[in-house]
Amino acid sequence: MSRFWSDIVKQLTPYVPGEQPRLSRLVKLNTNEHPYPPSPKVIEAIAAVSGDELRRYPDPESTALREAFARRNGLQAEQVFIGNGSDEVLAHAFQALLRHKLPLLFPDVTYSFYPVWCELYGVPWRAVPLAPDYTVDPAGYRGGNGGIIIPNPNAPTGILMSLDTIRLLLGQNPDSVVLIDEAYIDFGGESAVSLIPEYDNLLVVQTLSKSRSLAGLRVGVAMGHAGLIDGLQRVKNSFNSYPLDVVAQHAAVAALADEAWFEAARQRVIASRERLRTAMIGMGFEVLPSAANFVLARHPARAARELFAGLRAQGIIVRYFDLPRIDEYLRISIGTQEQCDELLAGLVQLLG
């Protein structure tokens, strides 16, 4: 029935999410989900939601959650925006803050949703090559542009950008919004939120999907100057006034309140990541230095596509991107230690 499609739909090349297979035996290491469940306080908060709350519309501004993010980051509530997952927050930012005549800049190896939003919203863009070691080169972001968006740590490389580099990007682009997408910042980096009081052109976007184990509830946040947040609010209230349901709001507040669980869980993931990286290097893999909850790795003697298929045949699912510069790499989410051990055993079998 594509004859009913609008012209823009005909032109789109949609983002392809990670596979969600339904296999009886599965080691799922392909979508960067947290390997451990959320804080017990989250489950308690969800169970406490009343039928009366469910029959009413949720708070359209997610006031309690905005205030919780503000307290945690030393900001005011008007410097915080809440959306239905960071993907929705980012999509609003493309419309509200990054859609200009000059091109939006982002790395050539990065989150593959960025060019999709550019296509959908008519945003001109230019990919800036990463350095040969896959780090961000600030020199490529000088000159006129309509904005800059970079994940930190980058995805799918996992490589971290320093706050000094972010300061440089902000300073050399005072008339453009610099959006730092921090989906994975809690697994080894320092958030750029601390720079918000100094730079009115900085927007930091985070999610509770990764380090807070709430991928199933879709909670995203943007933090920045109140003027940037107001732009996001204008788009949100022209699209969906109630982006976050009442269950997600209560659960997210509870998740932010349990710092002890958060710290212990993220340290478990970091420790598993470093053990996995060390073991894979010992097997002959090249593994990029990661500050995320995944690693990007290649074997010099075996094709990534072949390894991907071989692991899948064993019920071990990782991510393969058939894209320039990374088509010989596998992206592997950090699972439990038992899952990591199964992955290593599967690789040993494939490598002989």
Domain ranges of the chain: 2-38+260-351, 40-257
Question: CA 85, CA 226: separation in Å to the nearest integer?
Answer: 20
Residues forming beta bridges with residue 299, ordered by sequence position: 302
CATH class of residue range 2-38+260-351: alpha beta
Read off the pLDDT of each residue in 86-92 and give the average, rounded to a whole number: 98
- Backbone φ and ψ for 31, nearest 5 degrees, come out as -125, 15
Question: CA 191, CA 163: separation in Å to the nearest integer?
Answer: 8
Distance of CA 53 to the CA centre of its chain: 30
Single pTM value for the model: 0.95
pLDDT at 18 over 80: no
Read off the pLDDT of each residue in 43-70 and give the average, rounded to a whole number: 97
pLDDT at 126 over 70: yes
Q: For position 4, what pLDDT does the model report?
A: 80
Under 8 Å between Cβ of 160 and 152: yes
Under 8 Å between Cβ of 328 and 304: yes
pLDDT at 48 over 90: yes
Tokens 């072949």 -> residue:
306
Q: Which fold has domain 40-257?
A: Aspartate Aminotransferase; domain 2 (3.40.640)
Q: What is the pLDDT of residues 181-223, one digit of tens each?
A: 999 999 999 999 999 999 999 999 999 999 999 999 999 999 9
Q: Residue 33 has what DSSP assignment?
A: -
Residue 282: pLDDT band (50, 70, 90) is: very high
Fold match flag (2-38+260-351 vs 40-257): no
